[in-house]
Amino acid sequence: MTFRNTFTWVLSALAILPLYATANIDITEAPSRPKNMIIMVGDGMGPAYTSAYRYFQNNPDTEEIEQTVFDRLLVGMASTYPAKESGYVTDSAASATALATGFKSYNGAISVDTNKRPLTTIMQMAKSRGMSTGVAVTSQVNHATPAAFLVHNESRRNYEAIATDMLQSDADVILGGGQKYFSEALLGQFKTKGYQHIDDLAQLESIAKPKVIGLFAEVQLPWVINDVDANTLSRLTQKSLELLSQNDKGFVLLVEGSLIDWAGHNNDIATAMAEMQSFANAMEVVEQYVRQHPDTLLVATADHNTGGLSIGANGEYAWDSELLKGISASPSNISATAIASDEWQTGVSKSLGFELSASELQQLSNARMQGDEALQTALKKLIDVRSNTGWTTSGHTGGDVQVFAVGPAADLFKGNQDNTQIAEKMMTLLPKKD
Ligand SMILES: [Zn+2]
């Protein structure tokens, strides 16, 4: 019996007890308050992404459609609209502000209100209770989502200031990309504050204690599709859990699959599915941790939808996930290689995993003569047509997103809610301040 089942069973048992028995039970003191909380954000990961991922990972040789971690842990939905002045369609900054502070703000805001005044974040609240905090992401660590959890700034674009302010956040674990924003002088200040600094994933194993700032790429981490075996986000997540769990008072950790959104902006389904795989794997790492540590709550969601992804397009009642599984490199990589070689056709076909028709070869050949960007676009178009994948925009869309949860108080996140309420609920689960 899992903890969650036990918890549900206890609740149902309480419900059938006579009234006098329940009157003495303070539900807020029931074993429903987690010691540790992990919030996971699939950037741009609207419902179309989790459904697409289900078919992407499905084994066609079995009768059933295999469930994903998303199917297993789904509990509700959340609206994501930003503050009124920004309309109905949020950006990552306003949504991350909502998830980190419980307040809506304008698109671009990093945990400041519509008057640009700082809003208290769940990470600050955790720190004030002696808990540990951390972020593990696949973008640069000073990108919108991790930034909103750790600092305050009137604009997500102030990357240098956000990087500098991370020093004040006192976060125990900072893992992701972003070397170009952290000067030697700034890293020196981190070291003075007791941080170990690493810039190579191989060094991760040598880190046995907080604090750590690990920056593993100039900006964002490499596309997963070009190195699916690296399991980078899972490794960062695993290490974060190991380090943060050393604090008896508990921890709050943010894990973000940042590049799902970037692939969505590029309308690049093959790259997006690999990023989804990586995020799902990291979610399974946390799910496993929660099963082994019943005092830990996982809440996962998306900050918004990206690209208007559609499973099926061109009037066809079909979506070819098998074709997508066979693609072994990102269109950006395939294009760069093809531009550099005269004998490009075989390589392209090999990376795509299927034979190209004469007209497809002609289209790619024409695009190749116009250069890298045109060839990338042509490759993505070809993949979309072949797989019946549709997109409506290179930006965000305003549909609601899913909420996933497991662990103590997971039921709090059931049903329909606003993204600000996700933060409010998590904040009420923090221990009372001494
Ligand atoms: Zn986003």
Cα(348) to centroid(ligand 1), Å: 31
Cα(144) to centroid(ligand 1), Å: 8
Answer yes or no: do 323 and 296 share one domain.
no
Residue 12 lies in a domain: no
Q: Strand pairing partners for 396?
A: 306
Question: Would the annotation count 287 as a binding residue?
Answer: no
Phi, psi dihedrals of residue 409, rounded to the nearest 5°: 70, 15
**Low-confidence residues of the chain, pLDDT below 70?**
1-31, 434
Answer yes or no: do 181 and 261 share one domain.
yes
Which residue segment(s) compose the domain that 299 sits in? 34-309+395-428
Answer yes or no: do 209 and 242 share one domain.
yes
Question: Would the annotation count 43 as a binding residue?
Answer: yes
Residue 61 lies in a domain: yes
Helix (H, G, I), strand (E, B) or coil at 108: coil
Pairwise CA distance, residues 395 & 279, whole Å: 21
204 closest CA partner among 224, 176, 179: 176
Q: Are strands 401-406 and 74-79 parallel, antiparallel or unpaired?
A: antiparallel
Question: Would the annotation count 396 as a binding residue?
Answer: yes
Say how many domains are in the chain.
2
Answer yes or no: do 114 and 198 share one domain.
yes
Cα(209) to centroid(ligand 1), Å: 31
Give 85-123 pLDDT, tens digit per residue: 999 999 999 999 999 999 999 999 999 999 999 999 999
Residue 18 lies in a domain: no
Answer yes or no: do 399 and 336 share one domain.
no
Give 143-172 pLDDT, tens digit per residue: 999 999 999 999 999 999 999 999 999 999
Quote the pLDDT of residue 234: 98
Answer yes or no: do 177 and 241 share one domain.
yes
- For position 60, which CATH number holds? 3.40.720.10
Cα(261) to centroid(ligand 1), Å: 6
Answer yes or no: do 293 and 329 share one domain.
no
Quote the pLDDT of residue 13: 42
Question: Would the annotation count 256 as a binding residue?
Answer: yes
Active site residues per annotation: 92
Answer yes or no: do 324 and 279 share one domain.
no
Quote the pLDDT of residue 434: 67
Answer yes or no: do 144 and 279 share one domain.
yes
Residue 34, sorted as left (phi over 0), alpha (psi -120 to 50) or beta, turns out to be beta
Question: Would the annotation count 304 as a binding residue?
Answer: yes
Answer yes or no: do 381 and 401 share one domain.
no
Cα(32) to centroid(ligand 1), Å: 30
- For position 328, which CATH number holds? 1.10.60.40
Residue 62 lies in a domain: yes
Residue 159 lies in a domain: yes
Residue 21 lies in a domain: no
Residue 14 lies in a domain: no
Answer yes or no: do 368 and 224 share one domain.
no
